[in-house]
Amino acid sequence: MSPEHFGSCYETYFHSAQQSQAQVGHQLTIGAFLEQLEAALLEQGLAEQIPQSRKEDEERHFYPQIHARWRKGQQLPGRELLLVMMAVLTQLGGIRRLADADAWMEAAGYGQLSELEKLTYLPSLRAISNDGKVPGGLANPYPGLQPFTVEQSQFYFGRAAFITEKLLPAVQRKPFVALVGPSGAGKSSLIHAGLSPQLLRTGDWHIIAGRPFRPRPDTFFHNIVHTLFPRAGNDRLARDARALQQGETSLHDLVNAAVDTDAFPHVLLFIDQFEELYTGLGKESEATAIRFWELMARHIAQSEAASFQLTVLINVRADFTGRLLQNGVATTVLQDNDLFLGPLSQAELAEIIEEPAAEQKIVVDRALTQRLLDETGQFESHLPLLQFALHELWKTQRALTLAAYNQMCGNLEEVLATHADRVFQTELNPAEQVMVRQLFLKLVQSVHLGDSLQFVKRVVDRQELADIDAAVIELLTERRLLVASYDQHRNLATVELAHEAIIEHWQRLATWLEADRAFFIWRADLQAPLRQWLQAQDEGLLLRGAALATAEGYLETRPQDLRAEEMQLIQASVALQATRQQRQLAINQQLRRRLFLTFGAAAVALLLFVVAVTMALNARAQAAAARENARLASSRQLAAQALTYADDPELALLLGLEANNIADTIESRFSLVSILGSARFLTRAWDAHDTDITRLAYAPAGQLVASGGLDGQVRLWDVAGGGPLGRAMAGNEGRVLGLAFSSDGARLAVTGEFAGIRLFDVATQTLIAELSGGHEFWVHAVAFSPDDKWLATGAADHQVLLWDMARGQPVEPALSFHTDEVNELAFSPDGRWLASAGRDNQIVIWDVERATVHRVLLGHTDWVSDIAFSATSERLASVSFDGQIRRWRVADGAPLGEPLDARQGSLSSIAFTPDDLLLISAGRDKTIRLWDSATGAAVGDPLYGHADEIRALAVSPDGDWVVSGDRVGKILLWDLRGDNSLGKRYFFGEAPLSALQFQPGGALFATASRDGTVALWDLAGRRQMGPILVGPAAGIETVVFSPDGTVLAAGSREGAILFWDVAERQLLDIIPAAHTGIVESLAYSPAGDWLASAGTDRRVVIWDTATLTIRTESFVGLGAPVESLTFSPDGSTLVTGETGAGRLLAWDLAASPPLSRTIATNVDWVHRLLFSPDGQLLASAHADNTISLWELAGPEIIGQTLGAHRGEVDAIAFSPDGAWLASGGRDNVVILWDLARRRPIASFVNHQGAIQDVAFTADSRYLASASADGSFIFWDTE
């Protein structure tokens, strides 16, 4: 007998009964329990067992002191009284197992229960099985990898205290609650099977639950409305989603419409697996996150005044909280509204193991419970494994015993992997196993959490799995490795992994993921641009540059792993690239001439801007400095985020600079260089207005730009100086709708939401005149004639007026033809024509002298938003909200070619360049696009920079500059003459460059082209020096300077080697048939007395440079053509690299014939070889996208692989100081490597074609690269 143990049991079971009653909405007090006990004793005819007490009134009752004495073990009830007490506590849910009743009886000194006592007093606890055996026909109480549902709540145990003490009170009094816990902690089960039943039993709560971020985060608002109104039509869903997103309706309003809040005054909206928002891709997820937290902030603010309680409850993985807290609004919302779900105690884990079986009257083997407790420990990630093990024991072993567990697997860590491997190996044929590998790779995606890349599960639309046999998916679903769902209202079928524990604990899947890590990450990165392209079918969203090179590689090597839409995107991108190369030769030549000009003030302004932003962000970074590992994680995360904002370079630059300020990491450098390289042509940005910019105008002299906005302001901007001129012009109220400079640049006409036309003196920025008495409504458009004789205005009254500027009066009658408001006006440069356009979708060309209609142009299907004449006055271009660009012949009004579908959404602006070669358009998609005005072909890539819709655009009089303004008041200045990145592109001719080399110790460098020409350039000024050196028309493949810099040798594509005198620019000699194929590589010996050559004819030859005769060609043992060779710094060794799966061979030149030493075999195709300056390292560039570094000095050859390119590596160069290695590849990228750490430190991305050659200046300060796009670039390595 143990009175203390008796009292402990009593207190435990009474407290458990209180919790059970609370779950059904009842409160169990001490008095209520004792009354029920007394009633039970009377019912059993055991009135004599009721303890006697002094009577304070006429009714018999128990004093609370008796309860206290039982709790403390100070008084023990008799056997019969204890049996009735146990019966009552069992009915109240306090005692759940016969083992507990036996223990209590023993503590009281009465021994174990007899079978008759069990049958009489505790029939509901009599176990079907006391030995752990599971008979057939019973429902499995363990859900395995799936969360518990409301219907399974009777089997849910382990979190009663957390629910009662923390979660339930929070939900009952707060409008928003975030349940935070580790993956696998059971958050979804806690809500569905633990919290929900308690709320539902009250009768006052209505629960709405869903996963609105599935299958894509950007559909959240649509899905949340669908969750509220599952039977609503698409129009209703779209309307309510838009209203909710834009704040036009509140969450309370929608819930009130969906739920009878009179019957249910409390509503719980449960958003399951909230982290799915942050496993989405790119800016879509970021934008949805911002909108969600803004919605929650509004919801909390509106809750106090609401007529009913609405609580939004989310559950989220703890490792995603860092992502949440990056949003300031989220930080505010989460403050005091988050609950952390901590680890389970040993007692709670025991409940999870034993109590579900006890509900089915099965006793779990105590030895099994202890083993599972030991293996689970405090690791929340093991809880899914625990549930899975118990589920499988019940299902397959039909026993909850340690012996059955040992027979099944014997280790919790291996239970899931064992099951998955058994299914994979025994139930799938080889072809199906290949499918499963492809399937699981599609069901997993990668996300950045802190400074690490983690794999998480992905919900996939069943349509994406068309290449996977449906029977395979069904089998894996039956084996509980997958979950297949179907939403009949949305007609959406999805598939996902049953739990992320599969990713963590199935080693086979982990091996697949690691083996395909690069492909997997690439594919995840592809989803955002793919989704955008599928929605818009916009050429501007196709892949280009390094992204296209990588995609082409996967298209060639892994077509079976690509989905149909991915292949469509890649093939369309390849086709567009080929088309562009064919159609823009003439345009490219002119652009290249412009690109040849120097940066001038634009580059200085950009650098000053970068410095200014860097200084500002440095101060902020220093203030926020934390521990080193936190700084590195934050820097890497920001750098990765910066790269997702390709269409918003300013924001990307700020993020990249902030990342670099926090910590100078490889990732931050890469993001900065990539961003600056991608912001092509962008020179300057001005925060000009508080809201939409409505008009921009260039002054005729090209020095000033005028801007007008919806804020009613007009400002002048100094293009050269880079800032505003004075304050906004006074005298305007209401929105500015029209702007125009006079042809002499002295006056600026302004129209808007005010009467008349206002004229300002540009020099003084003062109002000098106001024209009135013409239009009855607002004037939308204004334009000066080229001779300033006329001022044309178009207005909301459908009229066009010509004003005689000498008299300041309108000419009668008005030009009347339009049937709706006139938006746009343009005079032809010769002054003969005036074009007007408006909301009636028409364009009217007026004869100015006769004041009559010349032509009416019909074709647009929506408002015509802008019109522009060509410089010759012979053509007119127009754009419309219908998204089309149309070109017209002015003489007869005939359309010129088919409309150009710009795929920019609604178009706002169009302009010709002064030379008439280009059309420039801008619109809703935030890009500027260049077009061949004659053919309509797109020229180059879209110009990214704006963060919102572009509303206005103007071209400088010389055609070198474009200014654009957007919806948020920002003006961007673009320099069409050059790409303003860290390196400027220089062009020579139109042919692809094949080689670039610096003169040793000199002031020159040479470039070679595939058209057979070689140019020598001044290193200081980057100017071509002297005449072009002309070689064979078949093209020059490689060039090399002699060690003394006096001779330039060149290898041609037809087998000749040419020698030029560098000083005289004269051809010295030629070996006409040095090889019978392409001369792939040339190398001078350090002393300059030998020249080695290699060709596609499988020959390696060493030539005597004095006589140009063969010294040796007896390189015995070459097995394949040699594409590259190099001399060691001491000249004693020649290294050759073979093509195909060839070899690296080192040849001892002292021997005759040379003896070979094998450096490596079966290396992928060797494109380039080079020794380091000190001769300690040999670098080789390969077709498998890698670089190998070989240490040859020791007794053993040691090799190390460097991988960062996404295309074949064709070019390498060591810096003269030996600190860096540069590489260039077919991904159009140049990478700078730190040789000491063997890590990349920068990546340069401004080329539009494969990199053919790279070289350092003698001081290692500059790195030059030559590309197949016909350009070379100098990069400042500092």
DSSP string, 735-758: -EEEEEE-TTSSEEEEEESSSSEE
Is 1237 buried (19+), middle (13-18) or exposed (0-12) by CB count in 10 A?
Answer: exposed
In a domain, 444, yes or no: no
Report residues of the chain scoring pLDDT below 50.
53-61, 281-283, 378, 588, 591-592, 594-604, 606-608, 611, 619, 621, 623-626, 979-982
From residue 248, give the alpha-carbon distance in Å to each of 221, 254, 333, 715, 1164.
Answer: 13, 11, 20, 34, 61
Domain end: 623, 645, 679, which one? 679
Domain end: 975, 992, 1015, which one? 975
In a domain, 448, yes or no: no
Q: What is the DSSP string of 897-951?
A: SSPEE--SSSEEEEEE-TTSSEEEEEETTSEEEEEETTT--EEEEEEE--SS-EE
In a domain, 882, yes or no: yes
With 0.75 as the threshold, say if the pTM is over it: no
964 and 987 co-located in one domain: no
Residues 834, 826: Cα–Cα separation, whole Å? 6
Three-class DSSP category at 982 = coil
In a domain, 561, yes or no: no
Residues 592, 1214: Cα–Cα separation, whole Å? 30
Q: Are the C-beta atoms of residues 1085 and 1101 closer than 8 Å to each other?
A: no
107 and 132 co-located in one domain: no
CATH of the domain at 1056: 2.130.10.10
Per-residue b/e over 127-166, b at no fewer than 16 CB within 10 Å? bebeebbbeeeeebbbbbbbbbebebbebbbbbbebbbeb
Say what the alpha-carbon torsion angle 260, 262, 264, 269 is, to the nearest 10 degrees: 60
Residues 569, 494: Cα–Cα separation, whole Å? 23
Task: Check residue 1015 and give its pLDDT.
Answer: 92
1108 and 1245 co-located in one domain: yes
At position 1194, the amino acid (one-letter code) is G
Domain end: 378, 394, 410, which one? 410
Name the one residue in this structure whose structure tokens are 């395995």: 144
Residue 409 CB neighbour total at 10 angstroms: 18
In a domain, 244, yes or no: yes
Residues 660, 673: Cα–Cα separation, whole Å? 11
CA 983-989-990 angle, 5° bins: 90
Which H or E run contains 553?
A: helix 545-557
Q: What are phi and psi of 1239, to 5 degrees?
A: -135, 150
Task: Check residue 624 and give its pLDDT.
Answer: 47
941 and 1086 co-located in one domain: no
301 and 377 co-located in one domain: no
Q: Could you tell me which residues are beta bridge partners of residue 1188?
A: 1180, 1201
Q: What is the per-residue pLDDT across 850-894, written as a single tens digit (0 to 9) for each?
A: 999 999 999 998 899 999 999 999 999 999 988 899 999 999 999
Q: Are the C-beta atoms of residues 392 and 407 closer than 8 Å to each other?
A: no
Q: What is the mean pLDDT of the chain?
A: 82
391 and 247 co-located in one domain: no
Taking the mean position of all CA atoms in its chain, how far away is CA 363?
51
246 and 367 co-located in one domain: no
In a domain, 776, yes or no: yes
Q: Are the C-beta atoms of residues 718 and 725 closer than 8 Å to each other?
A: yes
Q: Which range of residues forms the domain containing residue 1180?
A: 983-1276
Task: Check residue 994 and give its pLDDT.
Answer: 93
**How would you list the strands of the sheet with 843-847, edge to edge?**
822-827, 833-838, 843-847, 852-857
In a domain, 571, yes or no: no
283 and 360 co-located in one domain: no
900 and 1028 co-located in one domain: no
Q: Which of 409, 365, 364 is nearest to 389 (CA)?
A: 409
668 and 698 co-located in one domain: no
943 and 1079 co-located in one domain: no
929 and 957 co-located in one domain: yes
Which H or E run contains 781?
A: strand 779-784
Task: Check residue 252 and give its pLDDT.
Answer: 87
Q: Could you tell me which residues are beta bridge partners of residue 1144?
A: 1137, 1160
As given in the structure block, the two tokens for residue 411 are 């280790």
Q: Are the C-beta atoms of residues 1034 and 1012 closer than 8 Å to each other?
A: yes
Name the one residue in this structure whose structure tokens are 């007007």: 836
Task: Check residue 604 and give its pLDDT.
Answer: 45
Domain count, the chain: 6
Q: What are phi and psi of 212, to 5 degrees?
A: -70, -5
Task: Check residue 640 and give its pLDDT.
Answer: 64
In a domain, 328, yes or no: yes
